[in-house]
Chain A
């Protein structure tokens, strides 16, 4: 069985900026994913003060899901729901996604905390997912 992932970038006011699913899509999880990621935000807030690094490892568990988080210095949170454990590759994925997010942020036409709609961003994230996760 190939693994399923749900990835979300959450802005400073807790609204989602970007969402994506990788691997096998399972429709029954669709709404649950957002819910689990949202529920884990509080735990991210707690965990970020216990660690000096941006990558917070697994902050929450829900049934078979693990929730990993990465907090950028500007408090934008990258959340990943995954079933299997692979800290190194997830860390790599987050770091590269952070860089992609930075490049988006540097575009003068992008408003901070606005949803990321650029097709190019989506394509690159999907490529990163294939590289690190799938």
Chain B
């Protein structure tokens, strides 16, 4: 199954998506983060803003993914994680983070990013590291937004990041609640 997702992801990346210049993308993101830091002067608020930005991106991107692939509904979180990694990340960033560190109840997993294009050229000043800035926090928002649109309420956060001096970058995803197709409150 995992193999199949991989080939779908690569197929979409190769043939179906428009590409932009990587440097343009990286510098745009970099200057965005720096400007947020200047405006908010507090790294936690910057993290929050990046997450919100990502959320707004994610709720749109999920439709893009579903329209370009013929995915069936995922049966469980393990399958969802594979799709996020092999199709989601592959399609937009051309990376496929490895999925690992499942919790016992299969509701929580880690995405290990071996190579994060957003981090290229970036070197955090010590002040930002101490202040608790998660430079690529936008990715958390994207995952959260995308999953919310398919009925999965998740909590997503960075726990390790290479630009902060860690060995790898790790995003922790935890399923909080599955939104059932709720019946709207009727008129009667």
Contact = CB atoms under 8 A, between A and B. Distances in A.
Partners in one complex: yes
Interface string A33-66: 0000000000000000000000000000000000
A108 interface: yes
B31 A109 contact: no
Interface stretch (B81-89, B119-127, B138-146, B147-155): B119-127
B128 A108 contact: no
Contacts of B31: 108
Given A108-B30, A108-B122, 5 more contacts: A107-B30, A107-B123, A108-B31, A109-B30, A110-B123
B128 A109 contact: yes
Contact count band on B: 10 to 19
Contacts, number: 25
Is chain B's binding surface mostly helix, strand, loop or mixed? Answer: helix
B27 interface: yes
A118 interface: yes
Interface in A63-104: 103-104
* Nearest 5 A/B pairs, CB to CB: A108-B30, A106-B121, A107-B123, A108-B34, A109-B125
Contacts of A103: 121
Contacts of B34: 108-109
A110 B27 CA distance: 12
B62 interface: no
A1 interface: no
Interface string A106-120: 111110000000101
B128 to A, nearest CB: 7
A2 B96 CA distance: 52
B33 interface: yes
Nearest to A121: B123
Contacts of B30: 107-109
Contacts of A106: 27, 121
A109 B121 CA distance: 10
Contacts of A110: 123
Contacts of B125: 109
15 contacts: A103-B121, A104-B123, A106-B27, A106-B121, A107-B30, A107-B121, A107-B122, A107-B123, A108-B27, A108-B33, A108-B34, A109-B122, A109-B125, A109-B128, A120-B123
B139 to A, nearest CB: 17
A49 B153 CA distance: 63
Nearest to B123: A107
A120 B123 CA distance: 10
Contacts of B124: 109
Contacts of A118: 123
B118 to A, nearest CB: 10
A115 B128 CA distance: 17
Interface string B101-141: 00000000000000000000111110010000000000000
Contacts of B122: 107-109
Nearest to A105: B121
